[in-house]
Amino acid sequence: MKIELLSSTKNQDINISDSAFGKDFNESLVHQAVVSFMAGARQGTSKQKTRSEVRGGGKKPFRQKGTGRARAGTIRSPLWRGGGVTFAATPRDYSKKINKKMYRAAIRSIFSELLRQGRLVAIEKPVLDKPKTKEIVSLLNEFSLSKVLIIIDELDMNLYLSTRNIPNVDVITVREINPVNLLKANKVAVTADAFKQIEEWIDA
């Protein structure tokens, strides 16, 4: 299939793979990929102390009977100030596994849906000698792109620095693509070289 390449000089079409960008939307598979990605991003380092881990509390605070108070065996009981936590949080791994074939299929499904909705566009990669935010803003306005994710083939520091201060504009390489950043963007703008890399990855 063909997609229009947006360029400030001349507009032309580029060929993209039907098998990579012409799939039906598989909501359950995409959901699985998003859950897996979000779960893997969790730190899981939360830690609290139980009554056995809190320092001190070895001695019985007062005798069992005769005081009129409720019996107590330690000052580190969860009922007491300074005591342990009843069901204390411990470090854990939240990650959920999804195999590579399913993950690639989910990315294919997302790209195909973005193309159907008109949210996936091809753009000519801006060539900058130095960081120039004004030029990028002008280019984005020319093509009516806002809240856009720009995907390039390899890191370009001039382009990255030019877009860093523009709200809702992100620049990533093909290696940084994930289901969440694709779905969050209003528009996904991909350079011609990045399209080739994406096809090689998700069509494998």
Residues 6+ apart with CB under 8 A from 181: 149, 170, 172
Report the predicted TM-score, pTM, of the whole model to 2 decimal places.
Answer: 0.83
Q: Structural domain boundaries of the chain?
A: 2-43+98-202, 47-90
Instruction: Return left, alpha or beta for 93; rule: phi > 0 is left, psi -120 to 50 is alpha, else beta.
Output: beta
Q: Which CATH number fits domain 2-43+98-202: 3.40.50.2300, 3.40.1370.10, 3.40.50.720, 3.40.50.300?
A: 3.40.1370.10
What's the CA gap between 93 and 55, in Å, rounded? 27
Residues 121-174: pLDDT tens digits?
Answer: 999 888 888 988 999 899 888 888 888 999 999 998 999 999 999 999 999 999
pLDDT in tens, 4-52: 888 777 778 888 888 889 899 999 999 999 999 999 999 999 999 999 9
Average pLDDT over residues 108-118: 94
